[in-house]
Amino acid sequence: MIRVIGGGLAGSEAAWQAASLGVPVALQEMRPVRPTSVHRTDRLAELVCSNSLRGDKLDNAVGLLKEEMRRLGSLVMRAADRSRVPAGAALAVDREEFAKLVTDALTSHPLITIVRSEAERIPDSSPAEPVIVATGPLTSESLSREIAHLVGDDHLYFYDAISPIVLADSIDRAKVFRASRWGRSLGGVKAARASVCGADDGEGDYLNCPMTDEEYRRFYEALVSAESASVHDFDREKFFEGCLPIEVMASRGPDTLRFGPMKPVGLVDPGTGTPPYAVVQLRQDNLAGDHFSLVGFQTQLKWGEQARVLRMIPGLEQAEFVRFGMVHRNTYINAPRVLRETWQTRVKPDLLFAGQISGVEGYVESAASGLMAGRTAAALVRGEEPPVLPRVTAIGALAYYVSHADPSNYQPTNVTFGIIEPLARAPRSKAEKKLATSERALKQLDDWIATAQVPALGSG
């Protein structure tokens, strides 16, 4: 038997996959006995916020991920497709119907037992009885303490402070200059890490957006008067001092940012030959080099406001945002330190993590990790090799990234084409490159599926 803790997106999919492979599952969900601060119902796979599962086309990495999941018999994708509401190129769902379809399918499965109670500790596991922890970003306190004990206090985080990310192509290179503070770059002198939240650590090469006194004042005025996103109750807790949103820092005084993430020390603008009055640093954010994050710019501004204010930064006037900044409660492990590519923990291979707590970000990524963790756990019970999908697939690339990314300052990741193995011969057009990447992924996935057992979804 497999024990799955947490009946969210990841736990539901994990239970479904494992049971569909013939292995009995006990799925333990604490709601409604013990609620979380954001879930509103007792349904399994409740969507806590947006009803969108994002893009659904193959020119989009999350669209590819969804198609791979469909081909692997995903319950979450079946429920999403059946509860779909009009949303252009995105897959949005009727959230009530979606969660009902998942709940009904799991409740009526003969091999799945649903237990409604809080797991206060990690149950004992063995290869015959593996455990999957899929308790999400709002993992209950006592279990969080146990997890911290298991993985090490340093490898469990409780907040996510996310800086916005922009597309490299949308940065005006004529206005920015490439340099690292004090001339240090990758392979050069390494400075001590300044904070856990991505403040400039002195390493690597940065794109620097220099500001004059006048530009800084205008930016500052816009920032302190911009509208913040509404704050959930769970976010009212104090932020770590090192992870303050920029608008909170700015509210402490006009020069706070100039002595914080926008400090110009150690940088000389080649255009003027002098240090800029203030600077915003952009750091390469993915291997492909097409995403840059704004260093130390975690923010809770509303997304429209973020775009408006951040486009006042020289060089970012036309910036296209891949991801907006956020600060929210998020329990997750330092996956590259803790996990194998199969979602098994390194220290205890019959203990697995899946979903947001395992270091992925988003509904679909969480469900995808649950899908593979469920299959891995089933393989352990059946005495088989845990499955690993090729890294050219979105699912395989996600598993590889999560277990092999740079562990310093690790943050939960969405799926992007940047983490998928590049094509040997890529078409020149970006659109064609993405489609060719998806085509290759689905072909290799189909080859893999030909030798694997995939849940039959039937018409029920």
Ligand X SMILES: Cc1cc2nc3c(=O)[nH]c(=O)nc-3n(C[C@H](O)[C@H](O)[C@H](O)COP(=O)(O)OP(=O)(O)OC[C@H]3O[C@@H](n4cnc5c(N)ncnc54)[C@H](O)[C@@H]3O)c2cc1C
Residue from 102, 119, 246, 338 binding ligand X (CB under 6 A): 119
> Mask: binding to ligand X, 175-214, rule CB under 6 A, as x and -?
----------------------------------------
Binding range to ligand X, per CB under 6 A, among 3-11, 123-131, 249-257, 342-350:
3-11
Looking at the Cβ atoms of 49 and 265, the one nearer to ligand X is: 49
Q: How far is the CB of 192 from ligand X (least distance, A)?
A: 31
Q: How far is the CB of 139 from ligand X (least distance, A)?
A: 5
> Mask: binding to ligand X, 362-401, rule CB under 6 A, as x and -?
xx--x-----------------------------------
Looking at the Cβ atoms of 158 and 277, the one nearer to ligand X is: 158
Identify residues 140-159 at the interface with ligand X (CB under 6 A): 140, 143
Looking at the Cβ atoms of 29 and 290, the one nearer to ligand X is: 29
Torsion angle defined by CA atoms of residues 53, 55, 58 and 61, in that order, rounded to the nearest 10 degrees: -80
Structure tokens that stand for 297 in this block: 């710019």
**Rounded-to-integer distance, Cα 207 and Cα 180, Å:** 8
Handedness of CA 35, 40, 46, 50 (dihedral sign): negative
Residue facing ligand X at closest CB distance: 8
Identify residues 290-349 at the interface with ligand X (CB under 6 A): 328
Q: Binding to ligand X by residue 136, rule CB under 6 A?
A: yes
Looking at the Cβ atoms of 293 and 330, the one nearer to ligand X is: 330
Pairing of strands 278-284, 291-294: antiparallel
Cβ count within 10 A of residue 158? 14
Q: How far is the CB of 310 from ligand X (least distance, A)?
A: 21
Q: Binding to ligand X by residue 31, rule CB under 6 A?
A: yes
Binding range to ligand X, per CB under 6 A, among 9-17, 106-114, 297-305, 439-447:
9-17
Q: Give the count of residues interacting with ligand X (CB under 6 A).
A: 35
270 touches 177 (CB < 8 A): yes
Binding range to ligand X, per CB under 6 A, among 24-32, 182-190, 220-228, 313-321:
24-32
Cα–Cα distances in angstroms (integers) from residue 190 to residues 167, 264, 292, 327, in the given order: 27, 18, 21, 28
Pairing of strands 84-85, 90-93: antiparallel
Question: Which residues lie below 8 Å from residue 168, measured CB to CB, with a gap of 6+?
Answer: 289, 290, 291, 292
Binding range to ligand X, per CB under 6 A, among 61-69, 80-88, 137-145, 293-301:
137-145
Q: How far is the CB of 458 from ligand X (least distance, A)?
A: 24
Q: Binding to ligand X by residue 352, rule CB under 6 A?
A: no
Looking at the Cβ atoms of 10 and 380, the one nearer to ligand X is: 10
Q: How far is the CB of 5 from ligand X (least distance, A)?
A: 5
> Mask: binding to ligand X, 257-296, rule CB under 6 A, as x and -?
----------------------------------------
Binding range to ligand X, per CB under 6 A, among 28-36, 175-183, 197-205, 335-343:
28-36
Q: How far is the CB of 32 from ligand X (least distance, A)?
A: 9
Q: How far is the CB of 295 from ligand X (least distance, A)?
A: 24
Q: At 385, phi and psi to the nearest 5?
A: -70, 135
Instruction: Please give the distance of CA 44 from its chain centroid, rounded to a whole number.
Output: 21
Q: At 323, phi and psi to the nearest 5?
A: -150, 140
Q: How far is the CB of 45 from ligand X (least distance, A)?
A: 7
Looking at the Cβ atoms of 159 and 177, the one nearer to ligand X is: 159
- Give the orientation angle of helix 363-381 with respect to helix 61-71, to 10 degrees: 30
Residue from 32, 50, 427, 443 binding ligand X (CB under 6 A): 50
**Rounded-to-integer distance, Cα 300 and Cα 84, Å:** 30
Residue ranges binding ligand X (CB under 6 A): 5-11, 28-31, 36, 38-39, 48-50, 118-119, 134-140, 143, 232, 328, 355-357, 362-363, 366
